[in-house]
Amino acid sequence: MHIRVLGSAAGGGFPQWNCNCANCQGLRTGTVKARARTQSSIAVSANGQDWLLVNASPDVLQQVREHPPLQPARAVRDSGIAAVLLMDAQIDHVTGLLMLRERSTPLPLLATPEVLSDIGNALPLTRVLSHYCGVAEHPLPLDGRAIEPPGVPGLQVVAVALDSQPPPYSPFRGRPRPGDNIGLLLKNPQSGAQVFYAPGLGALTPALRALMAGCHTVLVDGTFWTEDEMIRLGLSKKRAAEMGHLPQSGPGGMLSELSRLPASVRKVLIHINNTNPILIEDSPERAELVRHGVEVAHDGMVIHF
């Protein structure tokens, strides 16, 4: 099973178009040791030909260009993207759907009913797309059932409801429902190995810890280093928790959560906000991750399981 990290940054990417924080400015001027990153997305395939695109980022066209396996060129119009699955209805995860409109058949789209409702109403992407290729909706169950995404043979996925937040534009912001935000268990039915992917994870539960402990790799929320990162930099009034993200540092933070997992589990942070000091490869915060055996995802990272 192949996972390709197409985009490892949170909303805005790195550097963000209008941001002159130390990280973004440092990357632009070449004065920090860091890599540029596009917005949050991975692609998963068992056979290396047929891919499940997990999240359709605003950077999807650039991501497809940078990942040749996503264009197998079997016909004059073709794509390796067989289906799209959405983790939530956030702008950085859904607006790339509009860029996939040139298909000649409806785009298979897997998402929870809550997400399908947000992107059909408050941000009516699927209604707009109905005037182009259209989408074939596959509502994701939250009952623990494994499903095989259409057109992606040999891969099974299980959607897991997470404690996080729907997007700011959702009528349910501030009063989240199960299904507004999911984690995804990616299963290799041949080997039994599984990977847990959760770019927006606000809190862990005993059930989630047990699930993660049984994984080959966990690819989880690396948005913020501290709870008040954006506030301290004067960039926003929002705390990490309000946005549905568990910061890495501090008691009960993601690092202490990941330390509880068996050493055999590969631990990778993804969906990194451009303000996060872990993006700087020689920062003390990055050194702390290394001491904990935790990696930082980058665009182009490949994981086999």
Catalog residues that contact ligand MLT under the rule CB under 6 A: 10-11, 90-92, 200, 243
How many residues are given for the chain? 305
Residue showing tokens 């939530």: 88
By beta-carbon proximity to Zn ion, the closer residue of 36 and 142 is 36
Query: At closest approach, how far in Å is the CB of 100 from Mn ion?
Result: 19
Task: State how far the Cα of 91 lies from the Cα of 188, in Å rounded to an integer.
Answer: 29
Question: Which partner in Mn ion, ligand MLT, Zn ion, none is near 243 (CB below 5 to 8 A by kind)?
Answer: ligand MLT
Instruction: In angstroms, give the least distance from the CB of 87 to Zn ion.
Output: 23
Q: Which residues contact 104 (CB under 8 A, 6 or more apart)?
A: 77, 133
Q: Which of residues 31-90 bind Mn ion (CB under 5 A)?
A: 90
Q: Which residues of 126-163 are buried (b: 16+ CB within 10 A; e: fewer)?
A: beebeeebebebbebebeeeeeebeebeebbbbbbbbb
In angstroms, the Cα distances linking 49 to 24, 52, 153, 240 are 35, 10, 10, 37
| CB nearer to Zn ion: pick between 234 and 284 | 234
- Shortest distance in whole angstroms from residue 208 CB to ligand MLT: 18
**Nearest to ligand MLT of 233, 287 (CB atom):** 233
- Stretch of 9-17, 76-84, 117-125, 224-232 contacting Zn ion, by CB under 5 A: 9-17
Total interface residues for Zn ion by CB under 5 A = 5
Among 5, 9, 11, 183, which residue sits at the site for Mn ion (rule: CB under 5 A)? 11
Binding mask 188-217 for Mn ion (x = CB under 5 A): ------------------------------
| Residue 222 touching Mn ion (CB under 5 A) | no
| Residue among 165, 140, 149, 172 nearest 47 (CA) | 149
Check binding of 19 to Zn ion (CB under 5 A).
Answer: yes
- Per-residue binding letters, 79-118, with Mn ion (x by CB under 5 A): -----------x-x--------------------------
User: What residue has token string 């910061």?
Assistant: 247
Near Zn ion by CB under 5 A: residue from 5, 24, 215, 255: 24
Stretch that binds Zn ion, among 11-19, 36-44, 153-161, 209-217 (CB under 5 A): 11-19
Question: Using the rule CB under 5 A, is 10 a contact of Zn ion?
Answer: no
Rank residues 92 and 180 by Cβ distance to ligand MLT and give the closer one: 92
Give the CA angle between residues 259, 263, 266 to the nearest 5°.
90
Strand order in the sheet with 294-296: 156-161, 182-187, 194-198, 217-221, 266-270, 294-296
Identity of the residue, 233 or 302, whose beta carbon is nearer to Zn ion in the bound complex: 233
- Residues contacting 119, CB < 8 A, separation 6+: 86, 89, 94, 97, 111, 125, 126
Task: Tell the smallest beta-carbon distance from residue 206 to ligand MLT (Å).
Answer: 24
Question: Quick one: 112 or 275, whose CB is closer to Zn ion?
Answer: 275
Residues in touch with Zn ion (CB under 5 A): 16, 19, 21, 24, 274
